[in-house]
Amino acid sequence: MTDPVVPTRDGAVRGTEIADGVLAWRGIPYAAAPVGDLRWRLPQAPEPWADVRDALAYGAPAIQPSLGAMGPAPAIPGMVAPDALPEPAEDCLYLNVTAPADADRLPVVVWLHGGGYHLGNATQGPGDGSPFAAAHRAVVVSFNYRLGSLGFLTIPREEHTGAYGLHDQIAALRWIHDNIAGFGGDPTRVTVFGVSAGAKSVANLLASPLTRGLFSGAVSYSGGADHVSTAEQDIRLQARYLRELGRNEADLRSVPAADLLEAQNGLAAGMRATWVWRPSVDGLALDRPPLDAITDGSATGVHLLVQHTLLEGLLYDVMVPGSADETDQVLTGLFGADTATAILAGYATARPDLAADPHRLRLEVFSDERYAIASTRVADAQSHHAPVWRSRFDGPLPGFPVPGAPQGPLPATHSTDVTGAWFGLGPAGAELFGTIGAFVTTGSPQAATLPAWDAYDDKQRPTMVLSADGGRLEADPFPAQRELWDGRTWPSGTWWPVDGL
Residues 129, 95: contact at Cβ < 8 Å? no
Active site residue ranges: 196, 312, 414
- Residues 6 or more apart whose CB falls under 8 angstroms from that of 241 comprise 149, 153, 263, 264, 267
Residues 217, 204: contact at Cβ < 8 Å? no
- Residues 6 or more apart whose CB falls under 8 angstroms from that of 483 comprise none
Q: With b meaning 16 or more CB within 10 Å and e meaning fewer, what string describes 10-47?
A: bbebbbeebbeebbbbbbbbbbbbbeeebbbbbbeebe
DSSP state of 180: G
- CA dist 150 and 164 (Å) reads 8
DSSP state of 160: S
- CA dist 35 and 484 (Å) reads 47
pLDDT at position 74 is: 67
Instruction: Please measure the distance between the N-terminal and C-terminal CA atoms of the chain and give it in whole angstroms.
Output: 56
Three-class secondary structure of residue 314 per DSSP = helix
Burial class (CB in 10 A: 0-12, 13-18, 19+), 54: middle
Amino acid at 135: A
pLDDT at position 254 is: 94
pLDDT at position 404 is: 84
- CA dist 495 and 14 (Å) reads 45
∠ CA 184-178-144, rounded to 5°: 90
Beta-sheet pairing, 407-410 with 397-399 = antiparallel
Q: How far is CA 119 from CA 33, 72, 261, 300, 342, in A?
A: 19, 20, 12, 31, 35
User: What is the full per-residue pLDDT of the chain (501 aa) written as tens digits?
Assistant: 568 999 999 999 999 999 999 999 999 999 999 999 999 999 999 999 999 999 999 999 999 998 765 555 567 899 999 889 999 999 999 999 999 999 999 999 999 999 999 999 999 999 999 999 999 999 999 999 999 999 999 998 899 999 999 999 999 999 999 999 999 999 999 999 999 999 999 999 999 999 999 999 999 999 999 999 999 999 999 999 999 999 888 889 999 999 999 999 999 999 999 999 999 999 999 999 999 999 999 999 999 999 999 999 999 999 999 999 999 999 999 999 999 999 999 999 999 999 899 999 999 999 999 999 999 999 999 999 999 999 999 999 999 888 888 888 999 999 999 999 999 999 999 999 999 999 999 999 999 999 999 999 999 999 999 999 999 999 999 999 999 999 999 999 999 999 988
Three-class secondary structure of residue 457 per DSSP = coil
Q: How far is CA 435 from the centre of its chain?
A: 18
Dump the DSSP string for 209-246. Answer: TT-TTS-SEEEEES--S---B-HHHHHHHHHHHHHHHT
pLDDT at position 401 is: 83
Please give the backbone phi and psi of residue 193, each rounded to the nearest 5 degrees, phi first: -140, 125
Dump the DSSP string for 332-400. Answer: HHHH-HHHHHHHHHHHHHH-GGGTT-HHHHHHHHHHIIIIIHHHHHHHHHHTTTS-EEEEEEEE-EEE-
Beta-sheet pairing, 388-395 with 397-399 = unpaired
Q: Which residues pair with 467 in a beta bridge?
A: 395, 470
Dump the DSSP string for 59-77. Answer: PPPPS--------SPP-ST
Handedness of CA 474, 382, 195, 322 (dihedral sign): negative
Which of 3.40.630.10, 3.40.50.1820, 3.40.50.80, 3.30.950.10 is the CATH number of 5-66+79-483? Answer: 3.40.50.1820
Residues 143, 131: contact at Cβ < 8 Å? no
Residue 215's nearest CA partner among 304, 149, 297 is 304
pLDDT at position 251 is: 87
Q: How far is CA 359 from the centre of its chain?
A: 27
pLDDT at position 69 is: 55
Please give the backbone phi and psi of residue 108, each rounded to the nearest 5 degrees, phi first: -120, 135
- Residues 6 or more apart whose CB falls under 8 angstroms from that of 342 comprise none
**CB atoms inside a 10 Å sphere around CB 432:** 28
Long-range contacts (CB closer than 8 Å, 24 or more residues apart) made by 263-268: 263/149, 264/65, 264/118, 264/148, 264/149, 265/65, 267/240, 267/241, 267/498, 267/499, 267/501, 268/494, 268/496, 268/498
